[in-house]
């Protein structure tokens, strides 16, 4: 039965409109991660409401500017750089 479900899932993915591929991938990642005990704990943990320090705000603004300017690295690039 599981093999049939997986085959059906593969067929569905193969026929997805290109515009929906990213959303489908994100949802499948979400479903996959839900089985991770740490993920489940994080999802039910109470949200902390700490104010950012002045330095925190500055670093966040800096990061947003880097993102907007395209000064980012992919996870694969970081792994290669770190030899992972």
pLDDT digits (tens, 9 = 90+) for 1-50: 677 888 998 999 999 999 999 999 888 888 777 777 877 777 777 877 77
Phi, psi (deg, nearest 5) at residue 49: -120, 70
d(CA 38, CA 26): 18
Residue 46 DSSP code: P
d(CA 10, CA 29): 15
* Structural domain spans, the chain: 1-48, 50-84
**Angle value at C-alpha 33, between 15 and 47, nearest 5 degrees:** 125
Instruction: Supply the pLDDT for residue 1.
Output: 62
């Amino acid at each position: 039965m599981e093999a049939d479900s997986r085959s059906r899932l593969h067929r569905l993915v193969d026929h997805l409109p290109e515009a929906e591929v990213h959303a489908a991938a994100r949802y499948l990642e979400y479903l996959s991660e839900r089985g991770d005990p740490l993920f489940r704990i994080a999802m039910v943990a109470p949200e902390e409401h700490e104010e950012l320090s002045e330095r925190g705000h500055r670093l966040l603004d800096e990061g947003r500017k880097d993102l907007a300017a395209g000064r980012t690295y992919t996870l694969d690039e970081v792994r290669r750089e770190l030899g992972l």
